[in-house]
Amino acid sequence: MSGGASHGIIDGLAAIWDQDGECTLQRLRLAFRTPALHPRMRQQQAHRAAELTEALADRLGAHPDNRQVRIIATAVVWVAAEEWQAQDGEGDLGALIDQALGIVLDPPLRATPTPRKP
């Protein structure tokens, strides 16, 4: 993802998670492993995705209410959080967010038709 504003948002999201790294990591682990906590975790991730949506919409020249922009931001935040906690908080969360954005914003992959069973 290019652009200072976009990286500022990514760095800001990563800083929120990194503020209290070990505590955040423990909360994410517990939330991912405890189905009763999933609604609260989704609520928190939605807030973070909304922050990313603003930067992403700006970069794509779209309105922040655009469904595609909201879907991308939500998926990126969710996958980055899941991966970060699965890696025990190792690595750079901002880099995970950036990599996820790069994957979804690269030219789309062409779907390969699934052969039907006779």
Q: Is residue 18 included in any domain, yes or no?
A: yes
pLDDT digits (tens, 9 = 90+) for 18-63: 666 677 778 878 888 888 888 888 888 888 888 888 888 887 888 9
- The residue written with tokens 């652009």 in the block is 3
Domain housing 12: 4-105
How many domains are contained in the chain?
1
Measured CA to CA, the distance from residue 45 to residue 51 in angstroms comes to: 10
Q: So what's the pLDDT on residue 118?
A: 61
Residue 49 contacts residue 80 (beta carbons within 8 Å)? no
Q: Is residue 118 included in any domain, yes or no?
A: no
Residue 57 contacts residue 63 (beta carbons within 8 Å)? yes
Whole-angstrom CA distances from 109 to 18, 79, 104 are 33, 19, 9
Q: Is residue 77 included in any domain, yes or no?
A: yes
Q: So what's the pLDDT on residue 1?
A: 42
User: 14: pLDDT confidence band, cut at 50, 70 and 90?
Assistant: low
CATH number at residue 94: 1.10.357.10
pLDDT digits (tens, 9 = 90+) for 57-90: 887 888 989 998 898 888 888 888 888 888 888 8
